[in-house]
């Protein structure tokens, strides 16, 4: 499937889709979107790139095995939940919010970091599965 | 007192660490110090107890359920504690010589110590629940001890039988205890005694009685549960001595004794006990005649003795309780001796076959003395303690108001037969000519012959001076039943009374029987013919039938074919839910709502139905995979229509990935064949349609019910106010139910690791199989 | 519309079960996918369906002013969709490995091979 058009297109599509996935992730608290969908879109971007340029190129681009994304994401989510316990003496997973709002994102809080963790895990899981399978297939 | 009980457990645990060093070599006697020190500990209480004091200690365990570790030391529990620790000391010492050089001696001591501790706990417990716990512990340690010789099939089988029977009894005890607890509101026996009327008048009295009987009869090997005890003789002889004659089998007797003041003096209680005890004592006494194995003879005479005890408790008079109390002591003394003697003979001569053994006095005189003394005490010949015990039994039966003559006659028959058993085991191996093959039998180790001699001599000391027991033990025992004890006087010589005549009759007939009837293989074969009718084989057949039925059941329903499992589960579901739905459904189709359906919806639904049809009837893999994709996208569009943008996006992404996944592995997957035949497809089709229809009806039924939106309303209301988010679905995921999501992404990660592992780590055995 | 959706859900379940009862492994997986879709749809349907009112609080207000679709089943289904992807991929790989090992696609034959290995 290494056609010229797809290959050229995917080189541009990858950054655009990745940006789009981050956009979807961040707006999730106010509009449709969120960590799950964002993570899936990001993995589709990479899968598309792999289809066009071959798995090796994509792996080179990634620089590390996508499996490492899973523990990182889990850690981010867990720390986001743990923060209220350590810093503020509140129960696990209490939502904490900054008083000032930030443009584009709106209010900033632990829930957003939790969602970012979900985003990373989903991406790691999907890419691990698809890469493993296409390697051995 | 708790410490006294725990010592045994602690010792058993200690044996785990370097146990082999503790019990082997010169330190072999060390374990015996534990029961010895406990024995001394309990002896010190004799003075208090004989002054009618009762020692009571309570440790809280589960106070909220009324379950405490409360211990009571009164006459009855003191007697048992002394027996457990006293005979325990001798058995521990005896074992060190008997099992010398055995590889697993440490284990053996461990089991023995656990048993001893559990048994102490059992007799000291005042709380029925903790009594149950200790009761089961004795069953379990007994299981390990019977099966100690674990390379022999027969020994394992006997261990299982014993565990099965006594374990069942334990459960009955728990059930009985719980019912008693719910009637009286307490689990402490001492407190229950104050609510005696409640129990007697309760609707559940019969139930409790049956449960307690079940527990006591299984533990104390009463007919028809007696058969585990002869089987348990597969255990090493120290175990038979300790558990299966002196202590554990008396736990049932203890229970009946303990609960008699609580539940006794009713017709049901007394009649049942008398009849069961009577059957057991006569039935198994007769069995003694037909055995040639010394241990077999002793096993049946033990069952018979237990029957006598149950019978005496059943009579329920002051005299019968007195007789029972004394007989417990008598029996423990002579039966433990006889078992130990058997063990020595077996250990030195290498056989227990009574038809071969004779004249052994020439090679092991002290053992012969012990055996003969025990046989004398067993036969009730003065001046042994056995004589005192037998007199009391006859007095108990003779002074009854009803059918005194009949019951006395049965008691005499039993005693005659038991005395015969005693002669066979205690006298026969030592008299007569010494056969050539036994001439080289070596003289036993000191620790093998000393304990039986000690016990046998004790039997005579108490016989000559019965007052030694009178105030210290016997009176307090009868005291626990709440009866008057002032007229108790233990005496060897009562003068010329009818009882004396009966004793003489018993002794005479016993001796006559011994000289007339020689144990032989013929007799043993004769009784074997009746094996088919015995309770043992009946229960064994029931167990066998049960196993066969389970096997049949398993092979029918667990065929190993996935689709059979699924079919059975679905069929069950359909019939169960279908049956409920037969009552009628409440859903009414609202035809006016069809008018609001738009063209888009109709188109999507049509595509969905078509794609499903295509999947089912597709001839190629590619077609099926593509239709699966179409199905997913149609559902995605449905989510768009019905206000679920988040779902639509997710479904879209996942569907894309699923199709990619399939495409990646597709050409590696097998061809798409129709493997099932026509008939099977029709059958599965009908099942599937029924299942689908059921789900549809279920959905419609639920839709007809009013909706409860309390939870959703809470989330919707507080989504922005509490969690600063406007997309409620996302807020639920990352905030309200964040912990759930955390677990969900962990599950995802696990599935990815699973995929990775399956593909990257080669399964070595399978690879080899391929070659 | 609920009526039609209920029928469709039943249809999905029926098709899924039928596929799972086949002897071919690939069909088993496809059946699994269909049934999980059916389950999602069932949950969605039982949460009542609403047209054109997603559970998103409109701009400028802090609470819902109009009716809205039930967010709870949606949150349930969202994670279910993602998890079922993990399950499906695991099942696919399991089947692929099994196929490599025993060289048969027939679930019945796999049974006999298992006995032979013993």
pLDDT in tens, C65-94: 778 888 888 999 998 998 898 888 888 888
The pLDDT of residue C41 is 93
- Identify the residue whose tokens are 């069909």: C27
Q: Which residues of B touch C106 (CB under 8 A)?
A: 675
pLDDT in tens, B24-33: 555 667 778 8
Which structure tokens are listed for B705? 């019910």
pLDDT in tens, B649-682: 999 999 998 888 888 776 666 666 666 678 888 8
Closest residue by Cα to residue B205 from B143, B277, B295, B265:
B265
**H helix intervals, B558-677:** 562-581, 599-617, 621-641, 645-666
- Dihedral angle computed from the Cα positions of residues B308, B312, B314 and B315, in that order, rounded to the nearest 10 degrees: 140
C33: which residues sit within 8 A by CB, 6+ positions away? Answer: B628, B632, B658, C16, C84, C88
pLDDT in tens, B501-557: 888 888 888 888 888 877 777 777 776 766 666 767 777 788 788 888 888 888 777
Range of A13's domain?
4-136
Chain A interface mutation, best of B648, B665, B738, B744, highest count of A Cβ atoms under 10 Å = B738
Overall pTM > 0.80: no
Q: Which residues of A touch B731 (CB under 8 A)?
A: 29, 111
pLDDT in tens, B373-387: 888 888 888 788 888
Query: Which DSSP string corresponds to A2-25?
Result: --HHHHHHHHHHHHHHHHHHHHHH
A84 vs B: CB within 8 A: no
Closest residue by Cα to residue B138 from B211, B239, B238:
B239
Chain-centroid distance, C-alpha A16 = 14
Query: Cβ contact (<8 Å) for B684 and C21?
Result: yes
The pLDDT confidence band at residue C118, using thresholds 50, 70 and 90, is: very low
The length of chain B, given as a count of residues = 771
pLDDT in tens, B437-461: 777 778 888 888 888 888 888 888 8
What is the rounded CA–CA span in Å between residue B674 and residue B620? 10
| DSSP element (H, E) containing B62 | strand B55-62
Three-point CA angle B295, B297, B301, nearest 5°: 115
Pairing of strands A106-109, A97-102: antiparallel
Domains in chain B, number: 1
- Domain residue ranges of chain C, discontinuous segments joined by +: 2-117
Please state which CATH number belongs to domain C2-117. 1.10.287.3510
Chain A interface mutation, best of B658, B729, B748, B754, highest count of A Cβ atoms under 10 Å = B748
What is the rounded CA–CA span in Å between residue A44 and residue C78? 18
pLDDT in tens, A68-95: 899 999 999 888 888 877 777 777 767 6
Residue B383: cis peptide before it, omega within 30 degrees of 0: yes
- pLDDT of residue B633 exceeding 90, the answer is yes
**Measuring CA to CA, how many Å separate B312 from each of A64, B84, B162, B324, B422?**
85, 22, 25, 6, 21
Q: Say which CATH number the domain at B570 has.
A: 1.20.120
Chain C nearest C-alpha distance from B582 (Å): 18
The pLDDT of residue B636 is 92
> How many other β-carbons are positioned within 10 Å of the β-carbon of residue B84?
30
The two most distant CA atoms of chain B are separated, in Å, by 116
Domains in chain A, number: 1
Chain B nearest C-alpha distance from A106 (Å): 9
Q: Kindly state whether residue B59 falls inside one of the protein's structural domains.
A: no
Report whether C8 contacts B605 (CB < 8 A).
yes
Interface A–B counts its CB contacts (< 8 A) at 144
In chain A, residues 3-22 whose CB comes closer than 8 Å to chain B = none
Closest residue by Cα to residue B4 from B84, B94, B107, B79:
B84
Please state which of the ranges B54-63, B477-486, C62-71 shows the lowest mean pLDDT: B477-486
Range of B645's domain?
556-708
pLDDT in tens, B679-690: 888 888 999 999
The pLDDT of residue B202 is 83
Question: Cα-flanking dihedrals φ and ψ of residue A101, to 5°?
Answer: -95, 150
Query: Cβ contact (<8 Å) for A129 and C56?
Result: no
């Amino acid at each position: 499937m290494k056609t010229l058009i797809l290959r050229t297109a995917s080189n541009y599509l990858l950054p655009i889709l990745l940006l789009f996935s981050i956009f979807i992730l961040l707006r999730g608290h106010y509009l449709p979107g969120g960590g799950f969908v964002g993570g899936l879109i990001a993995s589709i971007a990479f899968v598309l790139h792999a289809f066009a340029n071959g798995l090796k190129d994509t792996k080179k681009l990634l620089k590390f095995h996508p499996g490492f994304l899973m523990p990182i994401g889990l850690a981010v989510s867990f720390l986001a939940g743990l923060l209220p316990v350590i810093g503020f003496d509140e129960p696990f997973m209490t939502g904490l919010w900054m008083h000032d709002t930030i443009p584009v994102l709106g209010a900033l809080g632990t829930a957003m970091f939790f969602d970012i963790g979900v985003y990373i895990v989903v991406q790691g899981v999907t890419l691990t599965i698809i890469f493993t399978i296409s390697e051995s297939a | 007192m708790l410490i006294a009980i725990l010592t045994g457990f602690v010792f058993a645990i200690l044996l785990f660490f370097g146990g082999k060093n503790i019990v082997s070599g010169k330190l072999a006697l060390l374990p015996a110090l534990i029961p010895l020190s406990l024995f001394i500990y309990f002896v010190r209480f004799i003075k208090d107890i004989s002054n009618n004091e009762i020692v009571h200690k309570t440790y809280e365990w589960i106070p909220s359920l009324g379950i405490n570790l409360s211990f009571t030391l009164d006459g009855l529990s003191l007697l048992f504690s002394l027996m457990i620790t006293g005979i325990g000391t001798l058995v521990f010492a005896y074992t060190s010589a008997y099992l010398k050089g055995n590889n697993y001696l440490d284990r053996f001591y461990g089991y023995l110590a656990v048993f001893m501790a559990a048994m102490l706990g059992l007799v000291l417990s005042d709380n029925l629940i903790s009594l149950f716990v200790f009761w089961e512990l004795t069953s379990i340690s007994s299981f390990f001890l019977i099966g100690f010789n674990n390379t022999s099939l027969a020994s394992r089988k006997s261990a299982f039988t014993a565990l099965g029977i006594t374990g069942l009894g334990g459960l009955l005890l728990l059930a009985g205890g719980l019912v008693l607890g719910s009637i009286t509101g307490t689990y402490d026996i001492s407190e229950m005694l104050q609510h005696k009327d409640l129990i007697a008048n309760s609707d559940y009295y019969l139930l409790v009685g049956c449960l307690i009987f079940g527990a006591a009869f299984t533990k104390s090997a009463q007919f028809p549960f007696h058969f585990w005890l002869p089987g348990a003789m597969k255990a090493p002889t120290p175990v038979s001595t300790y558990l299966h004659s002196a202590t554990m089998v008396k736990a049932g007797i203890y229970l009946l004794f303990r609960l008699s003041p609580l539940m006794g003096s009713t017709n049901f209680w007394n009649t049942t006990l008398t009849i069961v005890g009577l059957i057991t004592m006569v039935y198994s006494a007769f069995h003694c005649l037909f055995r040639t194995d010394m241990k077999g003879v002793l096993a049946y005479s033990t069952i018979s003795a237990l029957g006598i005890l149950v019978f005496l408790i059943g009579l329920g008079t002051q005299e019968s309780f007195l007789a029972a109390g004394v007989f417990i002591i008598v029996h423990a003394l002579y039966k433990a001796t006889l078992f130990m003697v058997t063990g020595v003979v077996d250990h030195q001569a290498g056989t227990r076959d009574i038809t071969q053994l004779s004249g052994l006095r020439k090679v092991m005189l002290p053992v012969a003395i012990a055996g003969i003394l025990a046989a004398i005490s067993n036969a009730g010949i003065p001046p042994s303690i056995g004589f005192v015990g037998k007199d009391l039994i006859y007095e108990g039966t003779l002074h009854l108001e009803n059918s005194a003559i009949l019951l006395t006659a049965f008691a005499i028959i039993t005693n005659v037969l038991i005395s015969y058993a005693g002669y066979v085991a205690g006298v026969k191996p030592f008299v007569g000519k010494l056969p050539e093959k036994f001439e080289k039998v070596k003289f036993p180790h000191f620790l093998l012959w000393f304990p039986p001699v000690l016990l046998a001599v004790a039997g005579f000391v108490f016989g000559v001076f019965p007052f030694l027991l009178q105030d210290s033990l016997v009176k307090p025992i009868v005291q626990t039943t709440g009866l008057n004890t002032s007229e108790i006087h233990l005496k060897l010589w009562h003068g010329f009374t009818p009882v004396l005549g009966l004793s003489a009759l018993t002794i005479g007939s016993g001796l006559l029987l011994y000289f007339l009837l020689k144990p032989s293989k013929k007799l043993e074969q004769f009784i074997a013919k009746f094996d088919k009718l015995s309770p043992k084989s009946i229960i064994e057949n029931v167990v066998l039938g049960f196993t066969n039925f389970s096997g049949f059941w398993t092979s029918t329903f667990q065929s190993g074919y996935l689709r059979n499992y699924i079919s059975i589960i679905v069929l069950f579901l359909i019939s169960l839910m279908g049956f409920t739905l037969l009552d009628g459904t409440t859903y009414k189709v609202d035809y006016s709502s069809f008018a609001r359906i738009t063209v888009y919806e109709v188109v999507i639904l049509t595509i969905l139905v078509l794609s499903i049809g295509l999947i089912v009837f597709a001839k190629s893999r590619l077609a099926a995979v593509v239709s699966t994709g179409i199905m997913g996208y149609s559902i995605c569009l449905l989510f768009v229509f019905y206000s679920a943008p988040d779902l639509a996006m997710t479904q879209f992404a996942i569907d894309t990935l699923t199709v990619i996944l399939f495409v990646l592995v597709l050409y590696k997957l097998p061809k798409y064949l129709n493997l099932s035949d026509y008939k099977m497809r029709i059958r599965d089709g009908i099942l599937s349609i029924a299942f689908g229809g059921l789900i549809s009806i279920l959905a419609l039924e639920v839709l007809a019910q009013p909706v409860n939106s309390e939870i959703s309303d809470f989330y919707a209301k507080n989504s922005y106010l509490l969690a600063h988010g406007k997309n409620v679905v996302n807020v639920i995921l990352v905030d309200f139910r964040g912990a759930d999501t955390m677990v969900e992404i962990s599950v995802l990660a696990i599935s990815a690791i699973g995929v990775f592992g399956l593909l990257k780590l080669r399964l070595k055995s399978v690879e080899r199989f391929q070659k | 519309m609920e009526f039609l959706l209920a029928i469709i859900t039943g249809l999905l379940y029926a098709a899924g079960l039928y596929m799972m009862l086949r002897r071919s492994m690939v069909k088993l997986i496809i059946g699994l996918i269909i049934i999980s879709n059916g389950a999602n749809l069932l949950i969605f349907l039982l949460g009542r369906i609403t047209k054109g009112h997603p559970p998103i609080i409109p701009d400028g207000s802090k609470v819902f002013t109009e009716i809205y679709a039930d967010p709870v089943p949606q949150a349930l289904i969202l994670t279910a969709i993602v998890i079922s992807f993990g399950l499906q991929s695991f099942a696919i790989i399991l089947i692929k490995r099994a196929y490599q090992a025993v060289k048969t696609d027939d679930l019945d034959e796999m049974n006999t091979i298992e006995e032979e290995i013993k």
